[in-house]
Amino acid sequence: MRSFTRSMALTIILGLIAFALAGTSPANAASRSQIDRDADAALQQLFASTPAARMLAQEAKAILIFPSIVKAGFVVGVQGGNGALRKQGRTVGYYNTASGSYGLQAGVQKFGYALFFMSDSALGYLDRSGGWEIGVGPSIVVVDAGVAKSLTTTTAKKNIYAFIFSQKGLMAGLGLQGSKITRIYPD
C-alpha cells in the first residue's frame, strides 16, 4: 500500500510538472511575435526536410503550425504548445493545443506538427468549433515517409494532412488523436 501511495504521489507531481512545462494555458502563451518567429522557423525546417509539405502548402487553404509541443508523463501524461494559423503566408490567428492521457507511458518528448487544411469546409470547422478535438470532425491523414513519397496535388484528396517533425526526447507513443485545439489571443 505504501508503494502504491508513493507511486501515485510521484505520478501526480510529474503530471503537474509536465503540465507546467507544456505551457498549455492561454495565460502562459508566448507573445504573438515569438509564436510567429517559431512558426516561420518550423515551416522552413519542415519544407527543407519534406518536399511533400512544400507541395501541399501551395494548394492548402491554410496551415496551422505548432512549432514546439512538449509531451511528458509517467502513467499520467500531458502535452501542449502554441501555434499560428497561416493563410497565404500571413498569420490570421493563434491557437493552443493540449491533451492529457493515462496509461502505460513514461518519458519527455518535444516535437512540432503542422496541419494543412485542404478544404474550406475543414477550415470552417476549425473556426466554428470553438475548441476542436482532433479525431472528431474533418478527416486527417498523418503523413509519414511512406505516404509522403506517393503524395501529389492530384492524390491529395483528404480534408487535412498532418506532418509531425523535429522529434526529440524519449516517449513511448506519439499521436495527435485527442488533442484539443483552442483559439488564443496572446499579447
Predicted TM-score (pTM) of this structure: 0.75
What is residue 164's predicted lDDT score, i.e. its pLDDT?
87
Predicted pLDDT of residue 33: 96
Question: DSSP E strands: which ranges in the chain?
Answer: 62-87, 90-117, 132-133, 140-143, 160-171, 180-184
pLDDT of 173: 52
Full domain range(s) for residue 133: 2-184
What local confidence, expressed as pLDDT, does residue 96 receive? 95
pLDDT in tens, 47-84: 999 888 999 999 999 999 999 999 888 878 888 999 99
What's at 164, amino acid-wise? I
CB hemisphere CA count around 28 (13 angstroms):
13
Q: Do strands 160-171 and 140-143 pair parallel, antiparallel, or not at all (unpaired)?
A: parallel
Cell of 31: 507573445
Residue 151 has a pLDDT of: 36
Number of Cβ atoms within 10 Å of the Cβ of 134: 21
Gap between the Cα atoms of 178 and 121, Å rounded: 20
**Mean pLDDT, each 10-residue run in order, the chain (187 residues):** 57 51 49 96 94 91 96 85 96 93 81 92 84 58 49 52 85 62 93
End-to-end CA distance of the chain: give it in Å, rounded. 48
Instruction: Identify the pLDDT of residue 120.
Output: 92
Q: Residue 42 burial by CB count (10 A; 0-12/13-18/19+): exposed, middle or buried?
A: buried
Q: Distance between CA atoms of 76 and 78, rounded to whole angstroms?
A: 7
Phi, psi (deg, nearest 5) at residue 148: -60, -35
Domain count, the chain: 1
Residue-level pLDDT at 90 = 96
* Cell numbers standing for residue 159: 480534408
pLDDT of residue 26: 43
State the DSSP code for 28: G
